[in-house]
Structure 1
């Protein structure tokens, strides 16, 4: 396992970026945000990529960027909350150090943090029916929890 690359993962509402910045400072590594790097290269926001091309295309772009970043040394990368959904992405991450941001925080707390966040690429997070939005958030959390738990 390569420890000169650290990938920070976590569900919506977790402070992936904050933890990545903290670790980068601690190790004197460069810090990257995977979504920011995808947006710089593509020229569109993640939300726009997902809306226009679908989540599958976004996962392809995620994989391409992970491949590029996996060639770097001395980096900490904050990843989007669904990075673990793609098997090829998981293969890259598993060859490096992976840390789950806020893995010990309750889904209720994550919901409180995420419910009003702007720019999330999930259509359900942009709807006005807050009870349906909350229901879908918790269902997605339960679906993804096992992927995160393998690194806690």
Structure 2
């Protein structure tokens, strides 16, 4: 079974995904890392040189490749992946897969992201916590319908071990 983790940046998709893959003894794949290896450059470089439309097409193609490969892995999606092309439909229609939305409050996301905003291209221009709260709130509002298409929603405001336990309880 492929387990797709989706949610906003800072929701713990990669961190929780790596730990969950160890517990389940299956591979972990970060879609952004997969794209970077395939392209030979960073997501930021792809965005800067080719633009978002190119990136979203590439992201869709890589997602299709992972689904077809039947890896049986934990796959962390990019925060925007569910919102573009037919990505959620591809995930929902793929056999033996589950999608899990790691839902985190705006306040918690802001806490997690403020100190690392220099590592996040979308957040580099934000100067205050209030600006960040507003930015995240707007994005979550735009994306909630896509995120809510996940098979399972997990409260991911807590500790990673607690989140992993909740995921396992919902899956098996």
- TM-score for both structures, normalised by structure 1: 0.85
Q: How does 1:51-66 map to 2 (within 5 A)?
A: 51-66=48-63
Render the CA deviation track for 1:81-126: whole Å, top value 9, x for unaligned: 001111321122112211112x1x311111111123243242xx11
- TM-score for both structures, normalised by structure 2: 0.76
Q: Which sits farther off after the overlay, 91-100 or 28-37? A: 91-100
Q: How does 1:128-147 map to 2 (within 5 A)?
A: 128-130=126-128, 131-147=130-146
* Residue number among 64, 72, 89 corresponding to 2:87 in the alignment: 89
In the other structure, the counterpart of 2:119 is 119
Q: SS of 1:87's equivalent? A: coil
In the other structure, the counterpart of 1:24 is 21
Matched positions, count: 145
- CA RMSD, Structure 1 to Structure 2 (Å): 1.7
Runs of 5+ consecutive residues of structure 1 not aligned to the other structure = none
1:100 aligns with 2:122: no
Q: Within 1, Cα distance between the matches of 2:64 and 2:121?
A: 22
Contact 2:10 2:109 in 1 (8 A): yes
In the other structure, the counterpart of 1:74 is 72
Contact 1:46 1:121 in 2 (8 A): no
